[in-house]
Chain A
Amino acid sequence: AQSVTQPDIHITVSEGASLELRCNYSYGATPYLFWYVQSPGQGLQLLLKYFSGDTLVQGIKGFEAEFKRSQSSFNLRKPSVHWSDAAEYFCAVGPHQGGKLIFGQGTELSVKP
């Protein structure tokens, strides 16, 4: 079965601390992987994506993610979190860039001063 798992429902980090959000996937074909962010009352904004090539990808707002095929993981990281990063983060997988997506459950990030 195709699925995406985000094990952490809610994470709280201090401003300036590093962040890692976990994502594991199960997908029959070559996966196209995405991280989206959803701020309260907003739609989804793409942070970064991975299709092939360098397994460490850079995104917007200082985020990066590392694809590890052996672990079926695509974890999102940020070296130093800002208060404005507080939001819901979704990992997603699809058959190609523009295909229908399977989303993880989401991780809510809180940032404390």
Chain B
Amino acid sequence: SAVISQKPSRDICQRGTSLTIQCQVDSQVTMMFWYRQQPGQSLTLIATANQGSEATYESGFVIDKFPISRPNLTFSTLTVSNMSPEDSSIYLCSVADRNTEAFFGQGTRLTVV
């Protein structure tokens, strides 16, 4: 199974600022995803991070708000831009290959004040 390191584990940020979350995997993986889990809610897919190209965003999520990078097969970042209190959520990185199930990081608990 893949070991995923996600940083930071939590943060409290001022509205209007941006936070970049890092996801590091201990092995090369084909697919990396970013999910959002709003308080008391389920997980919603934000985007698929594509290595060397622009991420693929789900409906309701845009690159200007959630820019994503994936420079190689073991690392990705998600930035939450121009934050508002509504962005307070847990953000989770997930990795998978076509023939393995998805593994999840511990998540980043973000509070925007």
A residues within 8 Å of B by Cβ?
A: 34, 36, 41-46, 49, 90, 94, 96-106
Contact = CB atoms under 8 A, between A and B. Distances in A.
Given A42-B106, A99-B96, A105 B101 contact: no
A102 B31 CA distance: 16
Interface in B1-45: 4, 30-31, 33, 41-45
A43 B96 contact: no
Contacts of B102: 34, 46, 94, 97-98, 101
Interface of B: 4, 30-31, 33, 41-45, 48, 92, 94, 96-107
A104 B42 contact: yes
A9 to B, nearest CB: 9
Contacts, number: 60
Chain A binding surface SS class:
loop
B92 A98 contact: no
23 contacts: A34-B101, A42-B107, A43-B4, A43-B107, A44-B104, A46-B103, A49-B101, A90-B42, A90-B43, A96-B98, A97-B99, A97-B101, A97-B102, A98-B99, A98-B100, A98-B102, A99-B96, A100-B33, A101-B94, A101-B102, A103-B44, A105-B41, A105-B42
